[in-house]
Structures are given as structure tokens and as C-alpha cells.
Amino acid sequence: MKKLEVGILGATGMVGQRFVSLLEHHPWFEVAWLAASEKSAGKTYAEACNWRLRDPMPKSARELQVHECKAGEHAGKIPQLVFSSLDSKVAGEVEKEFARAGHVVVSNSSNHRMDADVPLLIPEVNPEHLALVRGQRKERGWKGMIVTNPNCTTVGLAMSLAPLEKAFGLEKVLMTSMQAVSGAGYPGVPTLDIMGNVIPYIGGEEEKVERETQKLLGKFADGRVTPGDFAVSAHCNRVLVEDGHTESISVSLRSKAKLEDLIEVWRTFRSVPQERELPSAPKHPIVVREERDRPQPKFDLNVEHGMATVIGRARPCPVLQFKYTALSHNTIRGAAGAALLNAELMKSEGYLD
């Protein structure tokens, strides 16, 4: 099969690098076009990018030229599918410009996630929300479209909640995060702020997690999404961990369930990406650990190539009903891997033909 050429907006950043790395051996897509800020434009990727991943920069990307993020500039040369990991200060307008110019923009940035006509997608959780793009293109008169994935903290939470919502209904959710420094981009949080410290504030994060979780678990009907009817309260903290967001979660459910019922629905959770065997889909989207001290980022981060949510410490909660710990890779499942799986879902449904 001839691979589909793709572009990356924000290719030099933390998430952009993950895109380049994950796409190196992708069976369907290949990187053909890269873009970043004015300061990087005109350089080769090797010159422009301060590569921070342990795997070496793919040879195929080193000599690619970095362009400015302008849709019209190189008309005809920019692939139809562009992934976006742009700084949110610029992503809003740039992504719209590309969608207007006919590109399919699969974005990590927060700017359009809550737009009523933009799918906020986790392929295992709400694949049917993808159909929102029909109204988006019609109403906005676009040839292209924007599809988003959630915030890196929302992903692990929503993945763990989706099977519970389906089986028992959710009433209340309380989540306290311990978020890795790589979630703040590069160079991120200053050493003197985070060394030996916990920062109990990440601007806008708690509101994003609360709203996005309700949209993701909302019902799609008549061309719109009605947010999930449950309360979510998030406390977000930055900790000195390189990669991997850990979350302490308590829930109360609408129907009666035993602890073993929760574990069973997590263990058996499968969805569209697994049925269609999409290339980036984890075989087990949720992995349950039974040891009393897992999951931990140090040991469980790369389970299923960083695409699974790892759950452990499931137990009764004396305030709500149940509590557990969830771990998710913030720059893979929480960013580049999430967008890649979204694009694979879109391809499997004919949106990229």
C-alpha cells in the first residue's frame, strides 16, 4: 500500500518530536512536510529541532526543511492530512486557516476542543462523535476539517471512566493528578520551581479536564453532543516526573456494583480500534495491575507502547464508592499517539480518501 504523506505543524516541540518518532515506521502514513515558528523556518529539521527523545531523530526527518505555518504559502505541496502540536497561543487561527484551505487537521492543541462542531475524540471511548465534522464542514463552508484529542490528563481519566459509565452510569468523579514535567512542553517548568517540590496549580488544566471529560462521555444525537450528566472535580499538580501522568480517582456510580465488577469491565474493555486492528491501537486499552503499589511511571509507562491506561489500587472509597489509581503516557496516549489513532480511525472510515 502506498503510504499517505502527512505534515506536522509544531514539529519541533515536545509533541511534534513524538509525532516524528511515532510516524517513522508507520504502516499507513509518512512524514513529508514539517512546520514550526518563524525562528525554525528555513532550517533543516536537524538544525531547527532540539531533539529531546531517547530514540534518535529518524534519518528520514533530519534533512526535511522546516516551513512556516502558512496554509497558502506552498499550496499543492502541503499534504492533505496535517497533525498539529502547535503552541496554543497560535494554534487557534493557524488550524482554522489550514482547515479552510482544505486540510484535515488532527490537533493536540486545546483551542478548538470545546467547539460544539469539533469532535473531541478518543477512538475507544466516543468514535461516533467523529460524525460532528459533517456539520462543521457544512456550517463553516470548509473543504477541510478539525478533529481534536483531549488534554493529556483527561485521556487517562476518560479511558478509565468510559467502561464504568457504560456498565453502571457515573454520578460523581473526583480526580487528583500528579503530572509529569514534559506536559509543560520544552523547556517547561524551571528547575528551581520544581526540584524537591510539588506545584498545586497548572493554569486552566482543571477546567479543561472537567469540561472535556463530560464532552467525551456525552451522547451524540441529531448532529450534536450532550455532555455527560455527572459531576467531575479535578485537582491538578505538577510533580518532578519526566513522563507519565498519575491520577488518584474516586467515583460514585448510579447502579450497584461490586469491586470485582469494575475490574471485570476494565479488563474486558475493547472498542472500535481493537476490532479494526488500527496500527496504533493497544490490544488492551486498559491494563489492570494487582500489586498494591502499582501503577508507577517508572515501571508502567510504556505498557502497550505508551497507548494503554494502566489502572491499579482499586478499592472501596468511604466518601464516594470506589477509588483507584490510573497512569497514562502524556506525550504518547495524551498527545501524539492519541492524534495518530484519531487519524487511523478517520482513515478506516473513509475521511482521508
Residues with a catalytic annotation lie at 152, 245
As measured in angstroms, the least distance from the Cβ of 305 to ligand NAP is 16
Contacts of 282 (CB under 8 A, 6+ apart): 274, 304, 305, 307, 308
Residues 57-76 that bind ligand NAP (CB under 6 A): 69
- With respect to ligand NAP, which residue has the nearer C-beta, 91 or 287? 91
Give Cα separations from 228 to 37, 114, 135, 165 (angstroms): 37, 14, 21, 9
- With respect to ligand NAP, which residue has the nearer C-beta, 241 or 251? 241
Q: Counting contacts by CB under 6 A, is residue 87 touching ligand NAP?
A: yes
> How many residues at the interface with ligand NAP, by CB under 6 A?
31
- With respect to ligand NAP, which residue has the nearer C-beta, 182 or 271? 182
- Pick from 214, 252, 280, 331: which binds ligand NAP (CB under 6 A)? 331
Cell, residue 318: 468511604
Report the DSSP beta bridge partners of residue 179.
238
Single out the segment in contact with ligand NAP by CB under 6 A; choices: 21-29, 37-45, 211-219, 312-320. Answer: 37-45
- With respect to ligand NAP, which residue has the nearer C-beta, 169 or 188? 188
- Pick from 26, 33, 108, 123: which binds ligand NAP (CB under 6 A)? 108
Report the DSSP beta bridge partners of residue 287.
310
Cα(88)–Cα(111) distance, integer angstroms:
6
- Pick from 20, 22, 81, 86: which binds ligand NAP (CB under 6 A)? 86
What sign for the dihedral angle of Cα 169, 283, 309, 31?
Answer: negative
Report the DSSP beta bridge partners of residue 237.
178
- With respect to ligand NAP, which residue has the nearer C-beta, 49 or 253? 49
- Give the count of beta carbons closer than 10 Å to the beta carbon of residue 349: 14
| 146-169 residues labelled b (16+ CB within 10 A) or e (exposed) | bbbbbbbbbbbbbbbbbbbbebbe
Residue reference for cell 491520577: 247
Binding mask 142-181 for ligand NAP (x = CB under 6 A): ---------xx-----------------------------
Quote the Cα angle for 152-22-6, to 5°. Answer: 100
- With respect to ligand NAP, which residue has the nearer C-beta, 129 or 238? 238
Cα(187)–Cα(195) distance, integer angstroms:
14
Q: Counting contacts by CB under 6 A, is residue 110 touching ligand NAP?
A: yes
* Pair 83, 69: CB distance under 8 Å: no
- Pick from 20, 26, 33, 40: which binds ligand NAP (CB under 6 A)? 40
Single out the segment in contact with ligand NAP by CB under 6 A; choices: 80-88, 129-137, 206-214, 299-307. Answer: 80-88
Pick the closest to residue 23 from 349, 343, 346, 351 (CA basis). Answer: 343
Binding mask 332-351 for ligand NAP (x = CB under 6 A): --xx----------------
Contacts of 123 (CB under 8 A, 6+ apart): 271, 272, 273, 278, 281, 341, 342, 344, 345
- Pick from 5, 32, 37, 223: which binds ligand NAP (CB under 6 A)? 37
As measured in angstroms, the least distance from the Cβ of 155 to ligand NAP is 8
Q: Counting contacts by CB under 6 A, is residue 109 touching ligand NAP?
A: yes
Q: Counting contacts by CB under 6 A, is residue 186 touching ligand NAP?
A: yes
Q: Spell out the alpha helix ranges (H) of 169-240.
A: 191-194, 205-216
Could you list the residues that contact ligand NAP (CB under 6 A)? Answer: 10-16, 36-37, 39-40, 69, 85-88, 90-91, 108-110, 151-152, 182-183, 185-186, 330-331, 334-335
